[in-house]
Amino acid sequence: MWNLLLLLATFFSSTNAATKDQWRSRTIYQLLTDRFSRGNGDNSPCPDLGNYCGGTFNGITQNLDYIQNMGFDAIWISPIPVNYPGAYHGYAAIDLYGVNPNFGTEQDLLNLVNACHSRGMYVMLDVVANHVGPVTPNYTQINPFNNEKYYHPYCEISNWNNQTNVEYCWLGTLPDLAQENPFVRQTLKNWIHWIVNKYGFDGLRVDTAIEVPMDFWAEFSMSSGVYTVGETFNGDPNYCATYQGCLDGILNYPLFFMMRSVFQQGQPMWDCRTFMQSCSVFPDQTILGSFVDNHDNPRFLNGTSNLNAFKSALAWSVTTLGIPIIYYGDEQGFSGGPDPYCREVIWPYLNQTTSEMYTFVTQIVNYRKQMQLWNYPWIERYAQSNFYCFSRGLATMAFTNSPNNVQYSVTYNPYTNGQVVCNIFWQNDCVTITNGALNVVLLNGEVKLYMPKSMMVSE
């Protein structure tokens, strides 16, 4: 009876769906629900990052100012179904229709979504349709896929270059759903439509996208009725681009690897040009998810202590083509290692809104919004082995990965002679365009983001 009610709800419910076009202007703050705020005033450390730490929906609701004051107008939260014991991350569901009681109640979740919407913020839900929790062989624990026939026979993924192996074998011990089974396929489509409508989600982050056939994702995405961005953990633009035919966007892992190569490891900045040229294979780069850190990889600052390099990577990810996603804790300079150490608790820092990185993130997010970068094409302006400059509209971004001072005269720029442009990080750092040139000086590996002085907002 319950499944019948869900099926009926699928067809008779409605939602104020947020489309990919509406998401282009958004900037997303990714958080792990369990690691953001307990909501009860308890800011003590978490004794075990491999288990639940106590973060809740109410904790997020109570601290939306912390997020919105940086300029973010969307949040990405963890998967919400009831999960296998200890699965604080949400990627091991045992009941798709329930809400993880460790995070709160259905009403708590509705309150969070409503609070975000009242602030003009979108909510992106992380969803999993590839696998369930590690319950083998007792599938009766899973609602609604309570029988072995709904899964692929056990074989662990062993060759990530073999697409059949990736799609039909298991990720570790997680039972792999058989989307070719008519019941599984239709139930997942009904479920995603139902959950989006029930809670009013505006978008979806789709987990393990490369582990499921693309034709299913096309149907799943359409059933959701909202913007979908898939996790394609691969650095090849040609491979990742194929998934933009079935999902609206993908998380831009090729960009992730490029930024780590250039800014963290010091590879030549000529690679930026090569990379941007390779991305022409994407049908629409403006709705890809650009990011520097996430919950699955060691943080950028775990691989280097160079804060200027980190700032440069963040500034690139926010100003380049795509929808920026900043991982919680980056605004406080977190440097955790591999999972679960990159999943630190942030509640001790929620009152530190004047820190260097919190201020920096606020500046770059608001720069993107003020200049409405999503409305303008990406144009390369200058490339050297240790310097790269691009523009979008009247916004010009200058980067170096050299620890030394560098100076370049950028004669191909969007400005006119006599126009004064200023660096947003220091409003007295202004340059007059002379003989058609923007003279850029970068000290000690810093990044500069320029705009016309006439557009500057006084501090």
Per the annotation, binding residues for substrate are 131, 205, 235, 296, 343
Q: How far apart are the first and last CA of the chain?
A: 60
Two tokens at 84?
């296998």
34 carries an active-site annotation = no
Given the residues 34, 207, 211, 344, the one annotated as active site: 207
CA pair distance 397, 433, nearest whole angstrom: 15
CA pair distance 390, 399, nearest whole angstrom: 9
Q: Write down the residue that tokens 């703050």 correspond to.
A: 29
| Cα angle for residues 97, 341, 334 (degrees, 5° grid) | 105
Residues annotated in a binding site: 131, 205, 235, 296, 343
Strands 323-327 and 289-291, by their bridges, are parallel
Two tokens at 24?
């282009």
207 carries an active-site annotation = yes
Given the residues 231, 248, 293, 344, the one annotated as active site: 231
SS (H, E, C) the chain: CHHHHHHHHHHHCCCCCCCHHHHCCCCEEECCHHHHCCCCCCCCCCCCCCCCCCCCHHHHHHCHHHHHCCCCCEEEECCCCEECCCCCCCCCEEECCCCCCCCCCHHHHHHHHHHHHHCCCEEEEEECCCECCCCCCCHHHCECCCCHHHECCCCECCCCCCHHHHHHCEECCECEECCCCHHHHHHHHHHHHHHHHHHCCCEEEECCHHHCCHHHHHHHHHHHCCEEEECCCCCCHHHHHHHHHCCCEEECHHHHHHHHHHHHCCCCCHHHHHHHHHHHHCCCHHHCEEECCCCCCCCHHHCCCCHHHHHHHHHHHHHCCCEEEEECCHHHCCCCCCCCCCCCCCHHHCCCCCCHHHHHHHHHHHHHHHHCHHHCCCEEEEEECCEEEEEECCEEEEECCCCCCEEEEECCCCCCCCCEEEECCEEEEEEECECCEEEEEECCCCCEEEEEHHHCCCC
User: Catalytic residues, which ones?
Assistant: 207, 231
